[in-house]
């Protein structure tokens, strides 16, 4: 199966889908630094910069369209968010207009959990209504990167839709690995709080080293990395050097030598990571779509692989 990636960022969807067996055929991304990364890793894939100038004839035929459209007007981090009427998050209607013209068999859309409450809940309803209006049926779910085995607290909303078909409903036949709770539970017989296996190795009482705009500092360990925060208004947001830095030795060489990203650890790199779709989650979604389309692996096998990341 072929896929096209819109608002591609640094290629989180692309890496995960490719690992699932899908083939990238098109990128659309406006950020010049993200473009460098995409060109480095997918030099043969056509890349268009501005989605507002993108014409439908320039997009190769693809079975799956993936888009993590801009979240700035929907995010809880923005105290003055404008919802889907905002100039950035309102680009949702641009991608759905292109989807309406091309009618790919599958769409996979992603955004922040703030979508659920933006515009008093009307933004979320508007997204669902628009997808139904252009012919897509399917499911939506909230998923945390914790569910992908990454010790990083980052919740996102995903929409999986199939064109004039109930195929996407099969996605929910076995989504337990994605949708399981990460809340500590009491272990039978001991009364002690336990977490799922993928988190156990990260539980620690040691301080967690984090990078901040003004330098490095320590924060109280939470057994997984804090959410990456952007700087908004007068808020001085902190972020880790990568989403899975927990109890690990800080490797400055790794920090400085990041493929496709300029040297140094700065707010730009934190923004790239924070905006990116987690590749293990994208891989899971891609495998589920492939399982529904071709039956090459079962839905149970695709779901179980998420726990092995």
How many angstroms separate the CA atoms of 109 and 94, rounded? 13
- Would you state the structure tokens that stand for residue 243, as one six-digit string? 């989403």
**Residue 245 CB: number of other CB atoms within 10 A?**
19
Catalytic residue among 28, 34, 71, 246: 71
Structure tokens at 69: 């459209």
Residue keyed to tokens 């899908």: 22
Q: Which of 165, 236, 224, 172 is nearest to 200 (CA)?
A: 224
CA distances from 31 to 10, 169, 271 (A): 9, 34, 11
71 assigned to active site: yes
What is the token pair recorded at 17?
């889908």
Half-sphere exposure of 54 (CA within 13 A, CB side): 28
Catalytic residues: 71
């Amino acid at each position: 199966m072929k896929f096209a990636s819109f608002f591609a960022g640094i290629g989180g969807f692309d890496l995960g889908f490719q690992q699932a067996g899908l083939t990238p055929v098109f990128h659309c991304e406006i950020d010049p630094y993200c473009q460098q990364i995409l060109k480095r890793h997918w030099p043969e894939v056509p890349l268009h910069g501005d989605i507002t100038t993108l014409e439908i004839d320039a997009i190769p035929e693809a079975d799956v369209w993936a888009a993590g459209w801009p979240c700035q007007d929907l995010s809880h981090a923005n105290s003055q968010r404008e919802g889907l009427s905002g100039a950035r998050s309102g680009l949702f209607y641009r991608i759905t207009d292109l989807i309406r013209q091309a009618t790919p068999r599958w769409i996979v859309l992603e955004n922040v959990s703030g979508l659920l409450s933006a515009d008093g809940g009307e933004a979320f309803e508007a997204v669902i209504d628009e997808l139904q209006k252009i012919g897509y049926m399917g499911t939506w779910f909230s998923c945390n990167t914790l569910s992908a085995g990454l010790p990083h607290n980052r919740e996102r909303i995903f929409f999986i839709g199939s064109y004039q078909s109930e195929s996407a409903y099969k996605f929910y036949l076995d989504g337990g690995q994605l949708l399981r709770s990460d809340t500590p539970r009491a272990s039978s017989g001991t009364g002690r709080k336990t977490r799922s296996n993928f988190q156990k190795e990260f539980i620690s009482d040691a301080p967690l080293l984090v990078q901040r705009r003004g330098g490095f500092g320590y924060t109280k360990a939470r057994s997984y990395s804090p959410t990456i925060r952007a700087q908004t208004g007068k808020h001085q947001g902190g972020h880790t050097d990568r989403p899975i830095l927990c109890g690990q030795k800080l490797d400055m060489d790794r920090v400085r030598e990041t493929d496709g990203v300029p040297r140094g650890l700065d707010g730009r790199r934190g923004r790239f990571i924070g905006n990116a779709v987690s590749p293990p989650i994208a891989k899971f979604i891609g495998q589920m779509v492939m399982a529904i389309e071709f039956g090459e692996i079962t839905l149970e096998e695709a779901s179980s692989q998420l726990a092995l990341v």
